[in-house]
Structure 1
Amino acid sequence: MSDLDFLEKLLDGAEVEWRPLADVTLPTSNIKWSNTDQSYRYIDLTSVDRETGTISEAKEITAETAPSRAQKLVEADDLIFATTRPAQQRLCLIPSDWAGEVASTGYCVLRPDQSHVLPGWLLHWISSTQFKAYVEEHQSGSAYPAISDGKVKAFSIPIPCPEEREKSLTIQGEIVRILDSFTELTAELTAELTAELDLRKKQYNHYRDQLLGYDVESLELRPLGWVGEVRMCKRILKSQTSPTGDIPFFKIGTFGKRPDAFIPRDLFEQFKDKYSYPKIGEVLISASGTLGRAVIFDGKEAYFQDSNIVWLENDESKVLNKYLFYFYQIAKWQSSDGGVIKRLYNDNIKRTLIPVPCPDDPEASLAEQARIVEILDKFDTLTTSLSEGLPREIELRQKQYEYYRDLLLSFPKPAEAAEA
C-alpha cells in the first residue's frame, strides 16, 4: 500500500480543514523579572542543537544577569522555532524537565491547544518541506533574515475531522507515530554511519601519520624552502572589490568556501599576467587564522588575498603537490604572533620541515610519494567525499526520511479537493 493510499484509508472520506497555527495554539506569556528572585535556565538561540532538535546547553540566569532577550516562558510540549535565520530550522519540542524555563525572544513559542492538535503534529509540520518553503517566501532581510511570530502563526496546517476531536486526534496520533518511527530509525542509521565514519577518520589519521609523520624512520626532514618559493597574489584593495562581479576574490574568511567579494575581469587578467598566480594542482594554504588550511587549486578563475593565502611554487621534481596537500594536515608550522592572531610569514613557511622519502634520489622519492598519496586518497574518499563516501549515505538517509514525511503530510488543500 502506498503512503497516499494509507492516508486516504486513514481519513476514510473525512473532512480536512486547514487552519492557521494561531487558531490551534494557546497564548503564552513573558516573565516579569521584577516579580521574581528565582533563577532560570535560559534557552538561547544557540542552546538548541539543530541536528537533534534538543536543548544541549543553557545558562543559569537571574533578574540581575538576564539578557534583554530572555523573556518567553515555556511549558512542556511547547514548540519553539527560531525566527532569526529561520532557514536553519532551529526548533525543539520542550520536554517536561524544561517546563517553566525562559526562552529567547528570538523564538516563536507555539503552545498547542491539545483539544485540537497533538504536540507531535505541530512538530512534524514545522519540520516539513511545506513550512520551509513558506518561511523562505515570508522571511525578510538579507544579512540577517528573519520571520515574525505573526507570520509563523499564519501558516496553515490540516486538521482532519475537525468536528470529531477524538477521531481527529487519533488520525494525527497514527501519523505522528509513523513519523516518529521514521525519525528514530533515521537517527539510528545516522548514528551507525557516523560511528563508521569516525572509525574511518581514525584509520585515515593513523595511516597518514604512519606514512608521512615526522617520526617515520624512512623519511628525511627537509625545509619547505627546499621544495620551492612561497608565492602570493598581488594585493587587491577593498575599493577594487564588489559584492557581485566577474571573478571571485577569496579572503581568509571565505577561503575554501563561497566568495562574498569579486573583482573586475580586466583587473584579474592584468594581475594574473603580470604577477604571481597559482598553477593547476598547486596547493593554496591559509597563512592567517587557521594556519595551513589547504585547498588544491583546480584552475577555475579566482583571485586570492595576498599574504593571507599563499602557495609554494612547485614543479613537482622534488615533492608531489598531492603529497604536500596531505603533509599540510600534520605540519608543525613555525608560526609567528601577529597581534590578535597567529600568522605564517614566508620565512616561517620556508623553515617548516617536511618528511620526504629518499630526498636525494628523485625517482625513488616520487614513486614512494605517489604510493603514499594513492593510499591516502582511498581513505580520503571514504571519509570526505559526498559522492562516494559515508557522508553521502547519511545525506541519502535524511532525504529518504524527508520524502516519506512529506508523503504522509500530503493532505489536499481546499482548491485541490474541489478539483478532484
Structure 2
Amino acid sequence: MNHLSYIEKLLDGVEVVWLPLGEIGQFIRGNGLQKKDFIETGFPAIHYGQIYTKYGLSADETFTYISEELAKKLRKAERNDLLLATTSENDDDVVKPLAWLGNQSAISGDMMLFRHEQNVKYLAHYFLTEAFQAQKRKYITGAKVRRVSSGDLSKIVVPIPCPDNPEKSLAIQAEIVRILDAFTAMTAELTAELNMRKKQYNYYREKLLASELPSSKTATLGEILDMRAGKHIKAKDISAIKNAEHKYICFGGNGSRGFVQEYSHEGDYALIGRQGALCGNVKRAKGKFYATEHAVVCTPKEEIDIDWAFHMLTFMNLNQYKSQSAQPGLAVGNLANLTINVPTISEQRKIAKILNKFDTLTTSLQEGLPREIELRRKQYEYYRDLLLSFPASPAGGPKSDEAA
C-alpha cells in the first residue's frame, strides 16, 4: 500500500483538522459498580478492570451482568460510546479504549465513557497510536495507581477529516477502520487458533503423561535425573542486552535473566526455577549457557530422554511444592523425592516427538503461532500509525516529536 497516494485519494483534497476531545464530545464518569455486584444474568455491565483484561478493541456484548434494580442507579454506555479505563497500575493500560457497539450497559467507577458523533472504532484505533500515547503521558498522575482526569483528556487533540462535512468525514473514518479491522481480524484468527492448539497440547500431554503404560516403572526424579543447583553470579556481571562480550544466556529462578561473558554448562538440559513466587517453572536449555544458583540443572541419566523429561516436569506443576514462606522456594532434595511413572526410552521418545510439535507450534517465537501473531500485530501497528498520521492543521496537531 502506498500510504501517501492512498491517503491523498481517500481525503480527496479535504482538510484534516486536529481538534481537542473536549470540542468533539463529552466525558461521563461511571459510578458505583463493584465486582461483587455481578450475577449470572441480568442487565449488561462492564467493570473498568475488564477493559484491559477481557476486552479487545471493540465489543457488542458484556461478560458480566447486574440486577435491574442496581442498573437503574448507574450511568450507562450507549452504542457508539468510547469506554475508557482511567486508572491502572501501569501507563500503557491507562485510558485503554473499548469501542462499545452494543445496547445499553452499566459502567463502573474508575472508568468513563466518551460520547461523540464520530466513528467510535476510528477513535479507538487512534487512541492506540504513539501520537495519542505521547499526549496522554503528559497528563498521567499518581504513584502506585496511575490515572488521567477527564479535564486533561479533553485537551488531547485527535485528527478529524473535514469536520464541517460530517457525512464525508464519517465515510473517510469508516474506510480507515475497514483497513485496520482487516489486520486485527487476522490477529484474532491466529490467537483463536493458538488457544485451540494449546487446549489440544494440554489434552494430549494429560493423556500421554498421566497414563501408566504397561511397560512403565515407578521412579523418583532423583533416580532419573541428576539435579544440581547452578552457580552464583554477581548481578553486575549480567547484561540485559546480548552483545559481543555478553553472548551466553543466563537462567535464574524465573527464566532468562540476561546475558553473561562465560558459560557454566554446555549440552542438553532441563532447568527448574527454585526461588521466588514463580518457582517451579521449567525451561529447556541447549548449547552453552549459564545457570545461577536459583535454577536447578537437570541432567538425564541412562535410559531417559531429556525432551520427555522436560514435558513431564512441566506437566507436574512443580510450583505446588514451593515452601510457604516470605521468599517461596523449592528444595532440590524435596524435588528429587517426587515419584513419577517412567515408560521405556522408546516410548519416551514417541511421546516427546508428539508433544514437541505442539510445544513448537504454541510457544516458539521463531517458528510457531506466537511468532505469526507478533508479526501481524506489528503489521497492524505499522499501518495504523501510517493511516492515522496526518499533517498538523491551524487548529493544532501534536508536535512533531510527539507524533513521531
TM-score, structure 1 length as denominator?
0.68
Counterpart-to-counterpart distance in 2, 1:95 and 1:133: 27
Deviation at 1:75, TM superposition (A): 4.2
- Which residue pairs with 2:245 in the alignment? none
Superposed displacement of residue 141, structure 1 = 6.0
8 Å CA contact 1:283, 1:295 repeated in 2: yes
Higher gyration radius (CA): 1
**Structure 1 range deviating more: 54-63 or 383-392:** 54-63
Shift of 1:329: 2.5
Q: For residue 129 of structure 2, what is the aligned residue in structure 1? A: 128
Aligned counterparts of 1:291 and 1:393: Cα–Cα separation in 2: 29
Structure 1 gaps of 5+ residues are: 34-38, 65-69, 260-264, 359-364
C-alpha separation in 1, matches of 2:155 and 2:28: 16
Q: Which has the higher contact order (CA 8 A, sep 6+)?
A: 2
Question: 1:56-105, CA deviations, whole angstroms, 9 ceiling, x for partnerless residues?
Answer: 444638999xxxxx986644432122233341363212345235x23322
For residue 158 of structure 1, report the CA deviation from its aligned partner: 2.0
Task: Indicate if the aligned counterparts of 1:214 and 1:354 stay in contact, CA closer than 8 A.
Answer: no
CA contact (8 A) 2:279 2:319 kept: no
1:389 pairs, out of 349, 365, 368, with 368
Larger % of strand: which? 2
Instruction: Please give the TM-score of this superposition, normalised by the length of structure 2.
Output: 0.70
Change over 3 Å in CA distance of 1:251–1:108 after alignment to 2: farther
- Equivalent of residue 174 in structure 2, options 161, 173, 177: 177
SS at the partner of 2:304? Answer: coil
% of aligned pairs identical? 31
Shift of 1:146: 4.0
Q: Secondary structure at the match of 2:255?
A: coil
CA–CA distance in structure 2, aligned partners of residues 186 and 26 of structure 1: 30
Question: 1:36 matched to which residue of 2?
Answer: none
Between 90-99 and 227-236, the greater mean CA deviation after superposition: 227-236
Are residue 26 (structure 1) and residue 20 (structure 2) matched? no
* C-alpha separation in 1, matches of 2:76 and 2:193: 40
Match for 1:110 among 97, 107, 114? 114
1:43 alignment counterpart: 46
Cα 1:251/1:380, change in 2 over 3 Å: closer
In the TM superposition, 1:323-342 aligns within 5 A as 323-331=308-316, 338=323
- Is 1:353 paired with 2:342? no
Q: Determine if contact 1:221/1:353 at 8 Å carries over to the other structure.
A: yes
Matched residues in 1 for 2:231 and 2:6: separation? 64
2:7 is the counterpart of 1:7: yes
**What's the C-alpha RMSD, in Å, of the aligned pairs?**
4.6
Alpha-carbon distance change, 132 to 333 in structure 1, aligned in 2, over 3 angstroms: closer
Equivalent pairs, count: 367
Following the alignment from structure 2 to structure 1, what is the Cα–Cα distance between the partners of residues 30 and 197?
A: 48
2:123 maps to amino acid? L
Mapping 1:2-401, distance limit 5 Å: 2-26=2-26, 28=28, 43-48=46-51, 49-54=54-59, 56-58=62-64, 60=66, 74-83=77-86, 84=88, 85-88=90-93, 90-99=96-105, 101-105=106-110, 107-112=111-116, 114=117, 117-136=118-137, 139=140, 144-162=145-163, 164=164, 167=165, 169-182=166-179, 184-205=181-202, 208=205, 212-228=209-225, 230-232=227-229, 245-247=236-238, 255-256=254-255, 281-286=268-273, 292-297=280-285, 300-301=289-290, 303-305=292-294, 310-312=296-298, 314=299, 316-331=301-316, 338=323, 345-358=331-344, 365=345, 369=348, 372-401=351-380
Aligned-partner Cα distance in 1 for 2:148–2:121: 22
Offset at residue 25 of structure 1 (A): 1.6
1:231, CA displacement in angstroms?
Answer: 3.4
In structure 1, what residue type is equivalent to 2:50?
S
Task: Tell me, in whole angstroms, the C-alpha distance in 2 between the residues paired with 1:32 and 1:204.
Answer: 42
Partner amino acid for 1:132? Q
| Contact 1:278-1:297 within 8 A present in 2 as well | no
**2:32–2:109: 8 Å Cα contact kept in structure 1?**
no
Gaps of 5+ in 2: 34-41, 240-249, 398-404
Q: Cα–Cα, structure 1 residues 403 and 292, in superposed 2: closer, same or farther, change >3 Å? A: same
